[in-house]
């Protein structure tokens, strides 16, 4: 089971990234949980200075970008 975390304070781009991550999970058929992190303290604990950011199993994969479901899917394979 993979853990996908979306770091962001709730702006439309953060929501879009969460949606795309959920789509990527469906596309890949991977078992994964998608959760949103909005607490600024938790966000900075990843070393991230810009949002939205995508984290998979503790590894930051992208910062400041809204990746497509296909792009996110590659990280899940």
Partner 1 sequence: MENEPQAAKPPEACCGTGPKLIFACSGAADVGKISDLAARKLTAEGVGKMFCLAGIGGRVSGIMETTRVATAILAIDGCPLDCARKTLEQGGFAKYEHIRLGDLGMEKGKTAPTDESVAKVVDLGKSRLAG
43 in contact with partner 1 (CB under 8 A): yes
50 in contact with partner 1 (CB under 8 A): yes
Identify the CA nearest to 34 among candidates 47, 44, 49, 75: 75
Q: Does the annotation count 14 as an active-site position?
A: yes
11 conformational bin, left if phi > 0, alpha if psi -120 to 50, beta if neither? beta
The minimum distance between CB 38 and partner 1, in angstroms, equals 10
Stretch that binds partner 1, among 23-31, 56-64, 69-77 (CB under 8 A): 56-64
Identify the CA nearest to 4 among candidates 41, 30, 42: 30
Q: Does the annotation count 1 as an active-site position?
A: no
47 in contact with partner 1 (CB under 8 A): yes
36 in contact with partner 1 (CB under 8 A): no
């Amino acid at each position: 089971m993979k853990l996908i975390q979306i770091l962001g304070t709730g702006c439309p781009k953060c929501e879009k990234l969460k949606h795309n991550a959920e789509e990527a999970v469906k596309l890949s058929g991977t078992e994964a949980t998608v959760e949103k992190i909005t607490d600024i303290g938790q966000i900075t604990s990843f070393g991230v200075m810009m949002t939205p950011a995508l984290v998979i199993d503790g590894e930051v994969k992208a910062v400041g970008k809204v990746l497509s479901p296909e792009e996110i899917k590659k990280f899940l394979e």
